[in-house]
Amino acid sequence: MTNKHKLAAWKSITGAINDLGDGGIRTVEECRKKWKDLLSRAKKDASVLKNPPTGGGPAPKTSPYSNIMIAIFGEDSPTFNGLNGIDSSEPQPQHLKRLTQTCQLSTVVSH
């Protein structure tokens, strides 16, 4: 995927977010930053889930957004574990069906 394609995708995503009409107009840069922050948190949460702290105590708390992202990408995805030399932030094919189901459930719950 070229940078031109990525920019076009981000413009499309930003347009869709702005079409939600929840009060503010966001820029491509703001949407990219939000995604980067969400992905960073999801990576930390995936790591904690994979390697929970020892010594008992309550289960580690994770962000609900992290849980959705982990379900979409898969906890063993290169998104969370990394692969050298490639853009590893694309959902794995086996998780796309789960994404569709999650989005449908989210739509039903929010209406």
pTM over 0.85: no
The per-residue pLDDT for range 72-101, each reduced to its tens digit, is: 888 888 877 766 555 555 555 555 565 555
Residue 58 has pLDDT above 90, yes or no: no
Query: Would you give the distance in Å from CA 108 to the centre of its chain?
Result: 20
The pLDDT of residue 109 is 44
Mention every residue, 6+ apart, whose C-beta is less than 8 A from residue 45: 60, 62, 63, 66, 67, 70
In the chain, domain spans: 3-110
